[in-house]
Amino acid sequence: MIDTIDIPFTQYHLPNGRQTKEIFAAPKELKPKVDEILSHGLEFTAEVLTNGYCSFCISNNQMGLDVDCEICPNGPTVPEHIIALVKRFDSMYYEKLLIEKLC
């Protein structure tokens, strides 16, 4: 039995923003929330910042909108920060942001 699900990320690399597709293996209990996020046409993005920290975002790239981000040191705590980002997603908040962006 599989105990994880794959979350697809687009990783942006320094210095020119080159993109690669990455996968984060997340606990399977996040599947409903990940499915909800993806059903809105949102994407997961990642990048290592110039200060060495990591930025993980849930984004609507077509609208140029980061719905939520988690910034953390690059290291062993990265998984818990990605999990927190996924758990924190709120569809109602996203819809409010989208309306504000469109108005």
In three state form, how does the secondary structure of 4-48 look?
EEEEEEEEEECCCCEEEEEEEEEEHHHHHHHHHHHHCCCEEEEEE
Task: Identify which of 66, 33, 68, 69 has the alpha carbon closest to the alpha carbon of residue 54.
Answer: 69
Task: Identify which of 57, 62, 12 has the alpha carbon closest to the alpha carbon of residue 37.
Answer: 57
Tens digit of pLDDT for each residue in 15-53?
A: 999 999 999 999 999 999 999 999 999 999 999 999 999
In this prediction, residue 83 carries a pLDDT of 98
34 with 26: CB under 8 angstroms?
A: yes
Model-wide pTM > 0.85? yes
Domain segments of the chain: what residues? 4-102
In this prediction, residue 82 carries a pLDDT of 98
Tens digit of pLDDT for each residue in 41-100?
A: 999 999 999 999 999 999 999 999 999 999 999 999 999 999 999 999 999 999 999 999
In this prediction, residue 2 carries a pLDDT of 72
Q: Which residue has the tokens 């988690």?
A: 70
What burial class does residue 66 get, using C-beta atoms within 10 Å of its C-beta: 0-12 exposed, 13-18 middle, 19+ buried?
Answer: middle
How far apart CA 30 and CA 35 sit, in angstroms, is 9
